[in-house]
Amino acid sequence: MEIGSPREVKLKAVEATPESFAPFGQVISSSPDGDEFGPHDAQLDLSRGIPRFYIMRLEDRKLKFSTITHHASVTQCLGSIGGEDWYLGVSEASILEDRTENSTPEGGKTVKKSACGHYYSPPNPDGVCVFRVSGSKFLKLNKGTWHAGPLFKTKAMDFYNLELNNTNVVDHTTHNFRKEDGVVFIIED
């Protein structure tokens, strides 16, 4: 679809709280030592491989994006080291069970087959929103949640990341809004 300059869509960042982020995953904050496991803890699914917990250094991730990614086989946790503010663009999961390519689910949405083997509906630009993550908390993304980022205002930041050891090789589906929808998102804070 890419014809001429993309349309810039400005999105106001909303603070990530357990309530505001619920359709996409969880916001996890500190809890007292000795607390038993419960619904306030990250509800993880790392059952399809070897978990990988690592620190990733990101540079030059300005408050603008045109691609968004999902992982169909794993939950993912992201948090900044040091609790600096950061941003994440998201859209609800759209993985389709029991579908075939070019079939039309309810609502007439397009169905695509990921290179990873699963079927999904591409995210709608109107369904994208942005969250600001402030302080010492992290986000747990539900399986299939579309996400763009982490994004931030500083030159570089370190993040801890929990996913599978091969997530970025075998479970990485990306949608390009600029190419497919003629849209680029700008985050306003």
Q: Which helix (H) or strand (E) holds 159?
A: strand 156-164
User: What's the pLDDT score for residue 97?
Assistant: 79
Could you tell me what percent of the chain has a pLDDT over 70?
Answer: 92
The fold for domain 7-29+48-187 equals: Jelly Rolls (2.60.120)
User: What are the beta bridge partners of residue 76?
Assistant: 141
Q: With bands split at pLDDT 50, 70 and 90, how would you rate the model's confidence at 103?
A: low
- Which pTM was predicted? 0.92
Q: Which of 17-26, 51-60, 92-101 has the lowest mean pLDDT?
A: 92-101
Q: pLDDT tens digits, residue range 26-55?
A: 999 999 999 999 999 999 999 999 999 999
